[in-house]
Amino acid sequence: MDRQVILNELKKVLVPYTLNKEALNNINEQTDLIKDLKINSANLVDIIIDAENQYHIEIDMDSAERISNVGNCIDVIIEKMGSPN
Amino acid sequence: MGSRVVVTGLGVVAPNGVGIPAFLAALKNGSSGVKYMPKYQELNFNCQVCGMPEFELSDLESYLSEVALYGLRGSTIGYAVKAAADAWLDAGNTLNNEELLWETGCVFGNSVADTEAMKRIIEFVDAKQARKLGSRIVEQLMNSGATAYISGLLGLGNRVITNSAACATGSQAVLMGYEYIKHGTTTRMVVGSNEYVDPYIFGAFDSMRILARKFNHAPQQASRPMSATAGGFVPGSGAGALVLEDLEFALSRNANIYAEVLGGETNSGGQRGGGTMTSPNPEGVVSCIKNALKNAGVEGKDIDLISGHLPATAADKMEIENWAASLNRYGDDFPLTNSVKSMIGHCLSAAGSIEIVALILQIMHKFVHPNINLEDPNPEIAKIVSLERLPTKCISKDIKIAAKANFGFGDVNTCLVFSKYEKNG
């Protein structure tokens, strides 16, 4: 799946977790979820659960720990979609 | 010590009115908020009526941020946030500022935490899906969930405490807040209580056979404190909140002062002397009321109005006896007495705070709300006090001093004394 398509879908997933809608509209792969979007670090868990539901994948805890910005979030999603589970 | 404590803000989510204007009108009109619940018939409950506020979580959109509101599932925290934020605004404050208020704290109580959150956890864990519960469920499982939301919303930096004393919780929260200000620990406190009686909590009470079961066809007549046909209480849900502050602090910010808290007492009958898990030791009740009067610096003869606990059970008669003995006032000399529960049912932990909001409104607007459903007063009660002292219609009355009590399972009691605010009081 195209990285840009995933990025656009991710943008929708992130809506309820950030009040910084302008920053959300302008996200790119380097956008940091906590620093740039001011997402509460505890809520990253919820974003991961939403992404799992959206792509019918399972993101294990080790993979989840790699997620800090939009780009490595996309990496994990692509990796998990490719792996049989 | 020695500072005076005043009430400057009120908020309420009650079965017969959400928000102060609606609740005030309902109190004056004697409007019942008790409804028939078809689901309770399906569930084979004996009692199929309850007091349920007209409230949706989306009502919090102007209080909580989109991020905070997303993931909030429970009504009980929702009620608490609405009542507390309304009281805060009513006291002339604003929301959504970044300030941390070191001089302001909160005591807010409940009996059970959010049962909607608990049910979700049970379902997910049983389905081996615990990992899908997410980050927002624990904050709603905590008994301190309501105080956590309130203190976060308002930026409160002083004592933040969650109390629980069954049906005495709400009045105990108000007393604790008063004491912190009186003792100089804090300058201002947001106090109150919240309760959501969902079918699981309701079912547990229903099994005790202490709920009204004979008025399922006429829900508004089901809650009948002091009546000969009172056959148990009607559970209710909601929240009440008050802002209490040091008088000097209130005056310095030109706050509207609604009433003064003169003092109170909370104690236990120790489940001795006739007291049990579910009924009070009369000696404990009398001691609680007498000490409350003493702490408030008033005498029995000074009380103009009693806002009773009076849930519409067999305990009503004993409560009237205990008030009469504590104040040494009987017959025509007994103070005017009413029970908000006749209109909203018994809101358990939320009862005290909602009923205190009602009491403050009666002091502010100079009226005594009616006891509805009292067309057939209990003859045993009529032997102790004159029926004219138990009004069935709204009365205009300048109330100078009023007493409020609530009694809870575990044999715990709380009594508070309030007065009209007088500059040189």
The nearest CA of chain B is from the CA of A10 a distance in Å of 16
User: What 8-state DSSP symbol labels residue B91?
Assistant: T
Name the residue facing B66 among A19, A42, A45 (closest C-beta).
Answer: A19
CB contact (8 A) between residue B135 and residue A17: no
pLDDT (tens digit, 9 = 90+) per residue, B293-342?
A: 999 999 999 999 999 999 999 999 999 999 999 999 999 999 999 999 99
Q: What is the mean pLDDT of residues B35-59?
A: 97
> What CATH number did the domain enclosing A31 receive?
1.10.1200.10
Task: Give the residue on B whose Cα is nearest the Cα of A16.
Answer: B67
Q: What is the mean pLDDT of residues B211-229?
A: 98
Distance from CA of A3 to the nearest CA of B (A): 25
CA distances from A58 to A29, A33, A77, A81, B20 (A): 21, 20, 9, 9, 49
Counting one residue from chain A and one from chain B, the pairs whose CB atoms sit within 8 A come to: 26
User: Which CA distances in Å does B35 have to A40, B27, B51, B215, B232?
Assistant: 41, 17, 6, 11, 16
Are A46 and B71 within 8 A, CB to CB? yes
Q: Is the pLDDT of residue B347 over 90?
A: yes
Q: Tell me the C-alpha distance between B175 and B153, whole Å.
A: 23
Q: Which of B65, B67, B134 minimises the CB distance to A45?
A: B134
pLDDT tens digit sequence for B177-205: 999 999 999 999 999 999 999 999 999 99
**Interchain contact, A43 vs B65, CB within 8 Å:** no
Contact A19 B134 (CB under 8 A): no
At B245-302, the pLDDT tens digits run: 999 999 999 999 999 999 999 999 999 999 999 999 999 999 999 999 999 999 999 9
Distance between CA B33 and CA B303 in Å, rounded? Answer: 28
Q: Is the pLDDT of residue B41 over 50?
A: yes
**Cβ separation B66–A43 shorter than 8 A:** no
Of A19, A46, A52, the CB nearest to B135: A46
Our count of domains for chain A comes to 1
Chain A residues with beta carbon closer than 8 angstroms to that of B71: 16, 46
Q: Residue B148 and residue B161: Cα distance in Å, rounded?
A: 9
Cβ–Cβ under 8 Å, residues B157 and B101:
yes
The alpha carbon of residue B14 is apart from the nearest alpha carbon of chain A, in Å, by: 30
Closest Cα in chain A to B129: A49
Q: Which residues of A touch B70 (CB under 8 A)?
A: 16-17
What band does B2 get if pLDDT is binned at 50, 70 and 90? low
Give residue A85's pLDDT: 47
pLDDT average, residue stretch A28-44: 95
Which of the residues B57, B61, B65, B66 would you substitute to probe the A interface, choosing the one with the greatest number of A C-beta atoms within 10 Å?
Answer: B66
Phi and psi at residue A70, to the nearest 5°: -60, -40
A54 CB neighbours in chain B (<8 A) are none
% of residues, chain A, pLDDT over 90 = 93
Give the nearest partner residue to B67 out of A16, A44, A52, using CB atoms: A16
> What residues in A contact B135, CB-CB < 8 Å?
42-46
Q: Given this model, what pLDDT does residue A48 score?
A: 95
The whole domain housing A76 covers 3-82
Nearest residue on chain A to B64, alpha-carbon basis: A19
Report whether pLDDT(B5) > 90: yes
Rounded-to-integer distance, Cα B329 and Cα B315, Å: 19
Whether residue B67 and residue A42 make contact (CB cut-off 8 A), yes or no, is no
Measured in angstroms, the CA of A39 and the nearest CA of chain B are apart by: 9
Find which of B61, B65, B66, B67 to mutate to test the A interface (most A CBs within 10 Å of its CB).
B67
The predicted model gives A36-48 an average pLDDT of 94
pLDDT in tens, B109-137: 999 999 989 999 999 999 999 999 999 99
Strands B188-195, B395-396: pairing is unpaired
Residue B92 has pLDDT above 50, yes or no: yes
Residue to substitute from A45, A48, A61, A62, interface B, most B β-carbons within 10 A: A45
Across the interface, whether the CB atoms of A43 and B135 are under 8 A apart is answered: yes
Query: What is the average per-residue pLDDT within A39-47?
Result: 94
ipTM confidence: 0.88
- How many CB atoms within 10 Å of residue B371? 26
Chain B residues with beta carbon closer than 8 angstroms to that of A51: none
Cβ–Cβ below 8 Å for B71 and A49: no
Within 8 A of B64 by CB-CB distance, chain A residues are none
Can you tell me the mean pLDDT for B51-63? 96
Using alpha carbons, list the distances in angstroms from residue B308 to B318, B321, B335, B355, B378: 12, 12, 11, 9, 16
Decide if pLDDT at A83 tops 80: no
Q: Quote the longest CA-to-CA distance of chain B.
A: 65
Residues B301 and A80: their CA atoms lie apart, in Å, by: 77
CA nearest B359: which of B345, B338, B373? B338
Of B67, B135, B136, the CB nearest to A18: B67
Alpha helices in B91-141 (DSSP H): 115-126, 138-141
- B78 min Cα distance to partner chain A (Å): 18
Domains and CATH numbers, chain B: 5-259 (3.40.47.10), 263-418 (3.40.47.10)
Checking if the pLDDT of B94 tops 60, the result is: yes
CA A44 to chain B, closest CA, distance in angstroms equals 8
